[in-house]
Amino acid sequence: MPKLSRREFLSAAGAFALLPRGPLSAATGITPLNAQVGDIQLLPEAYGTTSIWGFEGRAPGPEIRVAQGARVQRKLQNALPQATSVHWHGIRIANEMDGVAGLTQPAVEPKADFDYDFVAPDAGTYWYHAHNRSTEQVARGLYGALIVEEADKPDVDREEVLIFDDWLIDPQTSQIAGDFDSPHAQSHAGRMGNYVTTNGTYNLTVPAKQNERFRLRLINASNARTFPLQLHGMEGWIIALDGMPLKEPLAVTEPIILGSAQRADLIVDVVTEPGEAAHILHLDRQESFSQVAFEVDSKASESRRGQPAALPSNRHEVVDLAQATRLNLKMEGGAMGGLRSATLNGQPKSMGELVEAGRFWAFNGSADGMDNEPLAKLSRGEHVQLRVTNDTAFPHAIHLHGMHFNEMGENGVLGPLRDTTLIERGAAREIAFVADNPGQWLLHCHMLSHAASGMTTRIVVS
């Protein structure tokens, strides 16, 4: 056998070290992502464990963290008793990797698998979740954080990813309550939990120091709950929304409202004295409770640092409103308003027929969902201004797949880039985007019971 030169030997050794081991699947070398049943200590210990569906049997599933521009490859292996898929929420992704069962791919049957392979073009805080029977599968725990790191990281001491959820627990059994297609949840505010967690626990406590600076990545993974959050013993700035950096850090002076699927990145300084705790408070009507506690044991330094710099922006074409195509999306239906009529499979239907078919909401008079005629067929690069009108008695968190949009303020000002916009009952909002990503893109309410009962459409870009 010829002797290896030192260089060849080193590269051979390097190759050996990179051979698939442990979590790599032998056949293709793609890291598996197992959707499976698991038992976790979700409730306080006295109540025993709760059976969930989670990626790797956990909820949240494993954090996926990559550098901006890097490739993400995961082999979804379905060990659940139900078909599933994975949607990479907020990623400007190639359409065939978007994970919408029944639109961009067939649902992955039990025991089958599917290779996801995409590039993450934008730095920021994203998440992944099941996108087949989402009302059930996300409620059972099929989600996790997807973090894309910028090359120039902000100057902070620590980072915490905080995923908020609420679970509907049957108090008799300590298990997740069924009835995922409850007509009451569908026609009202969606499936609301009775047990609120952060990172799968009700009493998450983070050790901290006075004057320590954190980057907090907040993710709302709940089916329908809006989280109004307030800092207590911490002061700071919002630096990004739905992954996308704000032009300037925005001082937190009022509650942060996080609708279903929305994210916010904060930079905060702990100002509480050692021996006390700072909190992210959850404001619930008249009350507030600690969503996350930061127990301060010492001082990191004598004083706070100065105002942080903005994050480097992600490359994004600016919308030109003067040439934008104007579109409308009118939301109707639900309890305390009702859907008198709408079309289903292209046929006009009465209220009784719609209720019979489990449809309580309509977009522009249609309750069809994604099989419907698309809301719009756009050409690639087309600029769009979309007015979303909430003619219902409930708030809705409207999510567009595949592209971020600007929330527009008064007088046509282009506000922050988002992928999910929360629209209060009776309100309207304009959003604007450049349709630069070809494919079939879902546009739906992220209150998942609503999406399942009529609040879904799609946009086609070609």
Please give the residue ranges that form the binding site for ligand C2O (CB under 6 A): 87, 89, 129, 131, 261, 399, 401, 442, 444, 446
Phi and psi based region of residue 190 (left: phi greater than 0; alpha: psi -120 to 50; beta: remaining): left
For ligand C2O, the closer of residues 215 and 458 by Cβ is 458
CB atoms within 10 A of CB 93: 23
Please name every residue paired with 285 in a beta bridge, in sequence order, or none if there are none. Answer: none
CB of 137 to ligand C2O, least distance (A): 11
Closest separation in Å from C-beta 442 to ligand C2O:
5
User: Least separation, in Å, of the C-beta of 214 and ligand C2O?
Assistant: 26
ω into 60 cis (within 30 of 0): yes
From ligand C2O, Cu ion, none, interface partner of 97 (C-beta below 5 to 8 A by class): none
Q: Residue 445: which of ligand C2O, Cu ion, none does it interact with, CB under 5 to 8 A by kind?
A: Cu ion
- Cβ proximity to ligand C2O, 105 vs 211, nearer residue: 105
Of ligand C2O, Cu ion, none, which one does residue 87 interact with (CB within 5 to 8 Å by kind)? ligand C2O
Minimum gap (Å) between residue 307 Cβ and ligand C2O = 32
Q: How far is the CB of 362 from Cu ion (least distance, A)?
A: 12
How many angstroms separate the CA atoms of 442 and 444, rounded? Answer: 6
- Interstrand relation of 456-461 and 376-378 (parallel, antiparallel or unpaired): parallel
Residue 152 in 3-state DSSP? Answer: coil
Strand partners, 191: none
- The span from the CA of 354 to the CA of 361, in Å, is 9
Query: 240 contacts which partner out of Cu ion, ligand C2O, none, CB within 5 to 8 A by kind?
Result: none
Cα→Cα distances 242→146, 265, 277, 376, Å:
12, 8, 28, 24
Q: Which is nearer to ligand C2O, 87 or 359 (CB)?
A: 87
Which of 165, 265 has the CB closer to Cu ion? 165
Q: Please state the closest distance from residue 397 (CB atom) to Cu ion, in A.
A: 7
396 binds, among ligand C2O, Cu ion, none (CB under 5 to 8 A by kind): Cu ion
Nearer to Cu ion, 20 or 365 (CB): 365
Instruction: Residue 263: name its binding partner from ligand C2O, Cu ion, none (Cβ under 5 to 8 Å by kind).
Output: none
Which does residue 444 bind out of ligand C2O, Cu ion, none, counting CB within 5 to 8 angstroms by kind?
Answer: ligand C2O
The residues of the shown chain that bind Cu ion, judged by CB under 5 A, are: 396, 445, 447, 450
We find the least distance from the C-beta atom of residue 98 to ligand C2O, in angstroms, to be 8
Least Å distance, CB 447 to Cu ion, is 4
Task: Provide DSSP, 84-129.
Answer: B-EEEET----GGGS--BTTTB--B-TT-EEEEEEE--S-EEEEEE
Contacted entry of Cu ion, ligand C2O, none for residue 399, CB cut-off 5 to 8 Å set by kind: ligand C2O
Nearer to ligand C2O, 223 or 385 (CB): 223
Contacts of 338-345 spanning 24+ positions with Cβ under 8 A? 339/367, 339/454, 342/366, 342/367, 342/454, 343/367, 343/368, 344/368, 345/371
179 to each of 130, 248, 276, how far by Cα in Å?
18, 44, 42
Report the Cα 450 to chain-centroid distance in Å.
16
* DSSP secondary structure code for residue 455 in this structure: -
Q: How many residues does the chain have?
A: 462
Closer to ligand C2O at the Cβ: 168 or 442?
442
Segments in 155-269 forming alpha helices (H): 183-187
Q: Which helix (H) or strand (E) holds 452?
A: helix 448-452
Reduced to 3 states (helix: H, G, I; strand: E, B; else coil), residue 137 is helix
| Nearest approach, Cβ of residue 340 and ligand C2O (Å) | 28
Q: Is 422 helix (H, G, I), strand (E, B) or coil?
A: strand
Question: Which residue, 136, 216, 221, is CA-closest to 179?
Answer: 136
The site partner of 447 among Cu ion, ligand C2O, none (C-beta below 5 to 8 Å per kind) is Cu ion
Least distance in angstroms from the C-beta of 436 to Cu ion: 27
Q: Which is nearer to ligand C2O, 135 or 385 (CB)?
A: 135
Instruction: Report the residue number, 60 or 395, with the smaller CB distance to Cu ion.
Output: 395
Task: Indicate the residue among 224 and 378 with the shorter CB distance to Cu ion.
Answer: 224
Q: Which is nearer to ligand C2O, 261 or 378 (CB)?
A: 261
Closest by CA position to 96, among listed 443, 402, 303, 364: 402
133 binds, among ligand C2O, Cu ion, none (CB under 5 to 8 A by kind): none
Binding partner of residue 450 among ligand C2O, Cu ion, none, CB under 5 to 8 Å per kind? Cu ion
Determine the Cα–Cα distance for residues 19 and 10; give it in Å rounded to an integer. 14
> To the nearest whole angstrom, how small is the minimum distance from the Cβ of residue 90 to Cu ion?
18
Nearest residue to ligand C2O by CB is 89
**DSSP reduced 3-state for 156:** coil
